Structure 1
Amino acid sequence: MTKPHAPRNPIHTAHRLRLLVTSDLHMHLRPRDLLTGAEEARGLLALAGPIEAARAAGHATLLLDNGDFLQGTPMGEWHNRDGRAHPHPLIATMNALGFDASTLGNHEFDYGTEYLAEVLDQADFPILNCNLDITPALPTRPSLIVERDIGGVPLRIGITGTVPQRIMVWSRHLLKGRAMVTPPEQAVVEEAARLRAAGADLVICLAHAGIVPPGHPEEDSENGALRIAQTGAVDALICGHQHLSFPGDFLHDGAGIDATRGTLAGCPAIMPGWAGEVLGQLDLHLVHEAGAWRVTDHSARLIPCDPAAVPPALARLSDRAEEATTARLSKPLSHFPAPLETGFALVEDCTAMRLIHAAQIWALDLLLPQDAAGPRLSSVAAFRTGGRAGPDGFTRVPAGPLSLRAVADLYPYENGFTAVEVTGAVLRDWLEMSAGALSQLTPGQPRPLLRPGAPGFNFDMIAGVTYRIDLGHPAAFDLSGVQVAERGRVQELSYQGQPVTDDQRFIVATNSYRAAGGGRFPHLADQREVIATDRATASLLAAFLEAHPDGPPVPDRGWSLTAPPGAQALFDGDRTLSPRFSYPRAEMTGTRDGFGQWVFTF
């Protein structure tokens, strides 16, 4: 996988090329939660110390980012909406740190391609992508070759990058008719060949892709890092997207995935978590002999961030952004008499979700064409249910005044507001797929509430109808949307007290991600969109609250969980809450890693 290069002085001893990598920063810049003000062990600034220390070892070094840097915190939203006249705070920090290259992730497109182009133009480092063809073009390039001197001999390093194919689903409302995505492994093979023909000794791929074994349903759409490695086209692979760490205690091992050595199909690989919690360091051990550089071994480590080592001069680059973001979040909108919390959103029809339902029904009335007919429903999911976001990754808005801080907590993503027309049959499958995020329960066999691999945001709740989810029944669909059992987990589905029939028609408010089939929900991508707007659901939620300054109305509870008597579900949940429901019976038996260990008994 290396190309001969004529040396000035032959080198037979081992040398190192050190790759320092970040991925999925998601606008986590400072080691502080902008919603709560709490200090956090994360953020790009908290990696400044580890970056400096790793560079000081004296090895030839590259500092690389693997995408999904632009969206994820209120500071990103501030810059998009109010701060575009100012330098982008994260890009300015990356410039100051001396990043050598980055690639695009799927969330780079959340604010639209015009804004993305504006921000990328501010980068002093190249943005690389070889598998996206888009009109008008973004300020990216397929690849580049950088040179480092090792022992007096030049090492020419080719670098390229890829985005997941599934952006054409997730960002369909922005990219349809304007973009085409080539399978990453195909594009990398072609680009690597061009780089080697241009004189590259090594090729590194910044793949915004996760790691799954062969045959996994996400292998060909968003988590195809192993496929890239299997081509043999690259010498090292930087992975991401899953917000996980590799090597180490990883979800998958075997079948070409070596989570101990840190290889994919024998190719050195690393995935540096997310949010700047760790810095990835991948050292390629090299020898130069017979006129060519060759990788003989590698070593990988994940270095924890150091919030205490933030250089003041670097922090000053984002002072204005932090002050402006804090002021924006404090803008008063409304008032609500009860807390808004998502700690139990997967077991009860909680007030927080019903508030978002109310906003979406209000938006339907505002935006639907006058001739639009059919009952109006709303579908939402809780975005903050712990999991990979950690033990404080729950919405906790106290009773009282509601500000934009509450909106950012309730709806942290820039999904576009969308409405689709569906039949009763599609509505039932929608709910069956949603209910499939939860485990089947039987008495005497406690199981995790969420099925392994199921994100909490795939548990959609639909308001305007009533229904019951029977967890004693097997899930009708697997997590990839394939039917594996008879429907029947969703029971007593009714509209205004009458059973929903297969041929009834409904208009359902949702978001652009789900309407395009995001989450692998069956049938949804084929439904007629009656509203497709660039307006973000979060902005409509804020407008709804402003329209009801004395307190917005919320719909009644519409769904419930049941299971065979004595069945138990386990959940690593919010340690700070007390349940306000009596069924299922909830008990916190202890804490682990900051989570409350909850047992729900039916």
Structure 2
Amino acid sequence: MKRVLSKRVLLGILMLCITMGFLFAQPLPEQANELVILATTDIHGNVWGFSYENDKETNNNGMARIATYVEQVRATHPNVILVDNGDTIQGNIMTDDLYNKREGEHPVMRAMNLLEYDSMTLGNHEFNFGEDLIKRIQELANFPVLSANMSRVDGTMAAMPYTIVERAGVKVGIIGLTNPNAPRWDGEKTDPFVYAPVGPAARRAVDILADKVDVLVVVAHVGLYPEYDVDGGSDGGLAILELCPEIDVLIVGHAHTTIAEVQNTIAIGGAKNLGREVIRIDLSLDENKQVDGREVTIVDMADYEPSELIRGNDFIKEAHQATRDFISGGAPSADGSTSGGIFGTAAVDFQPKNEIMGIPEGKLRDTAVMDLINEVQLLNSGADVSAAALFADTSDIPKGPINYGTIFGIYKFDNTLYRVPVTGAELKAYMEWSAACYNQWKPGDISISFNPDKPGYLYDMFSGVDYEIDLSKPVGQRIKNVMFKGKPLSDTQNLTLAVNNYRYSSALKAQKLVSGVREWESPNSIRDMLVAYIKEKGTIYPKVDNNWKIVGVNLDSPYRNEVIKMVNEGKLEVPYGKSLNINELKKQGIIK
């Protein structure tokens, strides 16, 4: 017997079907329509927010402040993703002299785990300490460590290329890319690995993820613009944008510059170093989980107090205090030796005061700080000539007691020393490469300025030879009157050069300035050599042999003192990347 359904039952079934259909086809819940991506980059080991070289708290940086901001965002937004863009585990005395050289736990990785990062991209400085530290990072991290453009020399995967994170039903693919110039800077420490251009590597990863995720994020440890491969773009974010137009977010780093922009619907963010800024990307999604709105904000950490999540952690507190004790002489280094506490005295300040605010005198003339570094390099290497850079414009050995922090202040990298055979012609080519850091002088200039495309750490000063730098000449024609032991240096003369391992790889070899290979490498760091030298001397006095000078400039003007006073009083912009020029200042009506 057939059973006939009443109209009321049929209507009920129809309504139920409509309701069920609505449940299955309804748009994302309101909280899933918003996604916040927070990104850090180039923290360089700054967990606490502290300057170990001068034993002072900082007021605008460090992971402890980042933690406060992240906690606040998570408290008000349910869908937050936190990523890091590398150069994270190197950069201060705590990391470089203690925990990067020890087995076991690491304060930076502990802080990242406490903050519950979703990923970390390997930066070039992660390779400063070789393959063992890379493996240790991967073992300690409670999150994936990424590098889609790096593999082992045998073709096997050296790090995860990407990860997929889900928030409220939205799948987010995160692709990590390492700076392919790492071998240029770290030489044999990168021998176990092969690096590919960032653009094609990103394209391959995007092709894999495209039908698996709703949102695509690329976290690349390169600047937006190419650094060395200007034509090919293999080391710049622009190649990623060109080859992967469907990505939603690009995080860049390495250049330590603030970037907040949107290009063709792609949100792009970059931040300053040391945890001074956090990149924030706010994305809105439509009912199909497609990004339909984006906003980039760079958040200054000066507005945030340090979090007890980081500073209250027992291990991090111990690591922080151990670093301070190491500097003061109360704790051993990774190899068991002590830093010696106060191991010497500077009779007076070694670095001259700047005439113009923000323009380092240490790069305008020979100074005692540079002569000390080069003297120590010559003594330890037995080389004929030495080259070294003033890594920070503020580097000095101030009058008074000297401890390890003082040495870190003038030599912040854990470099070793090489002795390399060179010809006179090769040495001059290297000197020309260095002198390209200056801008060319032009009539009316009353100050010397620096090429903004050439960071100051690329400017080497030389001992063992006398020479002049003619800034009236263009790049490549500036080095004049090079003398060795009182005689003109011939192009065919054979010499030996003392230079650090970074410069050997990144300039002498990468730029093909020198054909010879290193014939000696120091068993210890240049910092250790400086410590030993000062310990032996006890009290050190500034010595300047004035073996080099800048020529081809005329900085005289009746207006000079007036203009410099305006700069020093903050009324004119510091002329670092562009010289003060009287003719231009007159045209602008600044002087009359």
> Which aligned pairs between 1:349-498 and structure 2 lie closer than 5 A?
349-365=366-382, 376-385=384-393, 394-446=394-446, 449-476=449-476, 487=477, 489-498=478-487
Query: 2:361 corresponds to which residue?
Result: 344
Which one-letter code corresponds to 2:27 in the other structure?
Answer: I
Gaps of 5+ in 1: 1-6, 248-261, 366-374, 386-393, 477-486, 572-584
CA–CA separation in structure 2 for the residues paired with 1:99 and 1:593: 43
CA–CA separation in structure 2 for the residues paired with 1:135 and 1:416: 25
Which one-letter code corresponds to 1:316 in the other structure?
Answer: G
Q: Look up the SS of the partner of 1:146 in the other structure.
A: strand
Distance 1:587 1:466, change over 3 A: farther
- The two structures, once aligned, show a CA RMSD in angstroms of 3.2
CA–CA separation in structure 1 for the residues paired with 2:401 and 2:526: 20
CA–CA separation in structure 2 for the residues paired with 1:173 and 1:501: 32
> Which aligned pairs between 1:573-588 and structure 2 lie closer than 5 A?
none
Query: 1:275 corresponds to which residue?
Result: 274
CA–CA separation in structure 2 for the residues paired with 1:139 and 1:270: 26
Which one-letter code corresponds to 2:460 in the other structure?
Answer: D
Query: 1:230 corresponds to which residue?
Result: 242
1:51 and 2:70 equivalent? yes
Cα drift, residue 336 of structure 1:
3.1
Segment of structure 1 superposing worse, 93-102 or 559-568 = 559-568
Q: Look up the SS of the partner of 1:341 in the other structure.
A: coil
Deviation string for 1:7-63 (max 9, x for gaps)? 944427892211001000011122332222143311111112221222223241101
CA–CA separation in structure 2 for the residues paired with 1:593 and 1:209: 35
Distance 1:508 1:109, change over 3 A: same
Which one-letter code corresponds to 2:209 in the other structure?
Answer: L
CA–CA separation in structure 2 for the residues paired with 1:118 and 1:269: 31
Identity %: 24
Counterpart pick for 1:328 among 323, 326, 329: 326
1:514 and 2:522 equivalent? no
Query: 1:113 corresponds to which residue?
Result: 131
> Which aligned pairs between 1:123-138 and structure 2 lie closer than 5 A?
123-134=141-152
Deviation string for 1:316-349 (max 9, x for gaps)? 2321112111121222333332323384111111
Higher strand content, 1 or 2: 1
CA–CA separation in structure 2 for the residues paired with 1:323 and 1:593: 42
Query: 2:356 corresponds to which residue?
Result: none
> Which aligned pairs between 1:276-295 and structure 2 lie closer than 5 A?
276-289=275-288, 293-295=289-291
> Which aligned pairs between 1:522-561 and structure 2 lie closer than 5 A?
522-524=511-513, 526-532=515-521, 535-551=524-540, 556-561=545-550
CA–CA separation in structure 1 for the residues paired with 2:408 and 2:572: 23
Cα drift, residue 146 of structure 1:
1.5
Query: 2:225 corresponds to which residue?
Result: 212
Contact 2:437–2:456 (Cα < 8 Å) also in 1: yes
Higher helix content, 1 or 2: 2
Cα drift, residue 139 of structure 1:
7.0
Contact 1:129–1:161 (Cα < 8 Å) also in 2: yes
Distance 1:168 1:310, change over 3 A: same
Query: 2:216 corresponds to which residue?
Result: 203
Contact 1:128–1:161 (Cα < 8 Å) also in 2: yes
Cα drift, residue 586 of structure 1:
8.3
CA–CA separation in structure 1 for the residues paired with 2:486 and 2:238: 50
CA–CA separation in structure 1 for the residues paired with 2:24 and 2:508: 54
Cα drift, residue 601 of structure 1:
11
Cα drift, residue 587 of structure 1:
6.8
Name the count of aligned residue pairs.
530
Counterpart pick for 2:255 among 207, 231, 242: 242
Which one-letter code corresponds to 2:403 in the other structure?
Answer: S
Query: 1:185 corresponds to which residue?
Result: 199
Query: 1:11 corresponds to which residue?
Result: 27
Distance 1:183 1:526, change over 3 A: farther
Distance 1:135 1:193, change over 3 A: same
CA–CA separation in structure 1 for the residues paired with 2:450 and 2:111: 38
TM-score, normalised with respect to structure 1: 0.81
Deviation string for 1:257-300 (max 9, x for gaps)? xxxxx1345422111222111111101221133xxx31222101
Query: 2:295 corresponds to which residue?
Result: 299
Contact 2:348–2:541 (Cα < 8 Å) also in 1: no
Q: Look up the SS of the partner of 1:200 in the other structure.
A: coil
Cα drift, residue 143 of structure 1:
1.3
Distance 1:526 1:237, change over 3 A: farther
1:590 and 2:588 equivalent? no
CA–CA separation in structure 2 for the residues paired with 1:322 and 1:213: 36
Contact 1:80–1:115 (Cα < 8 Å) also in 2: no
Contact 1:22–1:64 (Cα < 8 Å) also in 2: yes
TM-score, normalised with respect to structure 2: 0.82
Q: Look up the SS of the partner of 1:538 in the other structure.
A: helix
Cα drift, residue 399 of structure 1:
2.1
> Which aligned pairs between 1:558-569 and structure 2 lie closer than 5 A?
558-566=547-555
Gaps of 5+ in 2: 1-22, 329-340, 353-359, 583-592
Distance 1:464 1:406, change over 3 A: same
